[in-house]
Structure 1
Amino acid sequence: MELFNRFRRPILIAVGILVFLMFLNPIVLIPAGHRGVLLNLGAVSDRILSEGLNFRVPIMQSIVRVDVRIQKHEVVASAASRDLQEISTVIALNYHVNPEQVNLIYQNIGEDYSERIIEPAVQETVKAVTARYTAVDLITNRHVVTDEIEKTLRERLEPYYITVDQVSTKDFDFSEKFKAAIEAKQEAEQLALKAQRDLERIRTEAEQQIATARAEAESYRLKTTALNPLLRDMEWIKKWDGKLPQVQGTGAPLIQIPFQQR
């Protein structure tokens, strides 16, 4: 007890200093996936605080935490195609803030860069890209259009210290009038395809019937050719009176009459 009383004043002073420092909070914790923008009396410093424990000068320095992980932002974009068809689509943008430039984005843009920079950039990019394609091209070549939108957005957002990781688009939505025209065209194409198939079927059936008729005609001709000599002989036999002709020399008809042996 005497020892405590002896050092009570230094101990109280040390505890007081520790409590004061804890109240001023000189230790700053930056969570994973974040960076700290260091402000000296409100002015942005060149120093960027990394993840983990960091120290600051109390009262004089403050910290702004900035998320540098990949984030997703969806924008409903409206535009017009090259043939002046109104379209709309949902652009899903995956992006992240450059970790080594968080102080610049905070200094030049602020914390609301999503609304101030990303959304206008997406709207302008979609309008610029879709204006190069017809409505039909937007439907049939959606992956090509998406790649071009991603490339353009990457170039547009890079000066603002934002890196585009991936862009995806949902199906382009058109006016009801255009949808009806597309459906009518598809129905017409299907009817034309069916008519063509029916024509091919009829042509094939006709060719098969012609081939059958030709085969039957050829068979009949062969049979007739084989029967003509027999018919001629039968006709001569009917007219024969049973007497052998009295002729000399050659040229008399010779008929072979088959006999059945008993």
Structure 2
Amino acid sequence: MVSVARTKRKARVWIQENTPYIVVISLVITLLVVFLWPRIFITINAGEAGVLYKRFTIGTVTDYVYPEGLHIIFPWDIMHIYDARVQLVKHKFKVLTNQGLPVYLKIAIRFHPEYELIGVLHQKIGPDYVNKIIIPQIESVMRRNIGKYTPEDIYTNKEGVLSNIIVLALEETGRKYVRISDIIIRSLDLPPPVAQSIEDKLVYEEQFKAYQYILAREEQEAERKRIEAQGIQDYHQIIADNLDDHMLTWEGIQATAELSKSENAKVLIFGNQGSNGLPLILGVPSK
């Protein structure tokens, strides 16, 4: 008990003698904690991913991506935070066609980094990967391929020219640790005289197609009338070749028989009335 009490007295004495030093050290530690707090306690928000750089050991950690939440690291290490959500960047540039005429394109690119490869992306390219690989790569592919076509092919998207070029750009850019979701062409402009001449040509082509359709329709109508006239002519010719007195008499008898069956009042006078000998029928209107 004596030794314990003696130790306590010594401790009190030491504290009293070194109080200024203890206060200074406590203040220094407190200031260090306040200053280094953001470097020690790292919060990764929703939709983000972290890449840790270990200053004194392996450097960039490429085999592990730090997920959302709170992480505690050494103050001399650095946590780089990436946006892992789908993002949108807009870009505009000028392209020359195979005739040397300019095409002004405005595009929008939807993309997001490959989550599992964010560490490699940070090590090989860095946070500015949009301006280092996405935009230059897409612009390069579109320049190279648009330069093979005429302004009219590009302006009218003939045979899906632009669609095919966009597919190529998606394939090539997707190999650089980034996934390109879509490339949207916001606008495509040509110099006004060139655009006007293409529009005029398209109008004339549509007018010519309409004229061809009208011509084809009139030709078909003329052919129909010719066939109809030929049929009427053939019909009359057949009748003329086969019509004689016996046929006329027989047709007259058939007509008379049909009339006699009618409910309307009538008067039939039999006897030779003319050269064909058919009966004379006097009809009386019914009341």
Gaps of 5+ in 2: 1-11, 16-21, 247-274, 280-287
User: In the TM superposition, what are the counterparts of 1:58-77 in structure 2 within 5 Å?
Assistant: 58=75, 60-77=76-93
State the partner residue of 1:253. none
The answer to whether the aligner puts 1:151 opposite 2:171 as a matched pair is yes
User: Of the candidates 46, 49, 52, which is equivalent to residue 35 of structure 1?
Assistant: 49
State the partner residue of 1:164. 180
User: Residues 259, 188 of structure 1: CA spacing in aligned structure 2 closer, same or farther, 3 A cutoff?
Assistant: closer
Equivalent residue of 1:196, what SS?
helix
The residue identity in structure 2 corresponding to 1:147 is V
User: Of the candidates 68, 82, 85, which is equivalent to residue 51 of structure 1?
Assistant: 68
Whether the 8 Å contact between 2:107 and 2:187 is mirrored in structure 1 is no
Cα shift at 1:73:
1.3
State the partner residue of 2:7. none
State the partner residue of 2:234. 218
Equivalent residue of 1:32, what SS?
coil
State the partner residue of 2:266. none
Between the two structures, name the one with larger relative contact order (CA 8 Å, sep ≥ 6): 1
The answer to whether the aligner puts 1:179 opposite 2:199 as a matched pair is no
**Cα RMSD, aligned residues only:** 4.0
Q: Deviations over 1:107-160 (max 9, x none)?
A: 5544333334433333222211212333344312132221112123224xx1xx
Equivalent residue of 1:197, what SS?
helix
Cα shift at 1:192:
2.0
The residue identity in structure 1 corresponding to 2:71 is N
2: CA distance, partners of 1:93 / 1:260:
96
Whether the 8 Å contact between 1:94 and 1:164 is mirrored in structure 2 is yes
1: CA distance, partners of 2:73 / 2:277:
136
Equivalent residue of 1:172, what SS?
strand
Q: Deviations over 1:143-196 (max 9, x none)?
A: 2221112123224xx1xx433333333453322223222222222222222222
Q: TM-score, normalised by structure 1?
A: 0.65
The residue identity in structure 2 corresponding to 1:50 is P
2: CA distance, partners of 1:260 / 1:49:
115
- The count of residues paired between Structure 1 and Structure 2 equals 223
State the partner residue of 1:241. none
Whether the 8 Å contact between 1:77 and 1:122 is mirrored in structure 2 is no
Whether the 8 Å contact between 2:49 and 2:84 is mirrored in structure 1 is yes
User: Of the candidates 94, 98, 101, which is equivalent to residue 110 of structure 2?
Assistant: 94
Whether the 8 Å contact between 1:91 and 1:169 is mirrored in structure 2 is yes
State the partner residue of 2:250. none
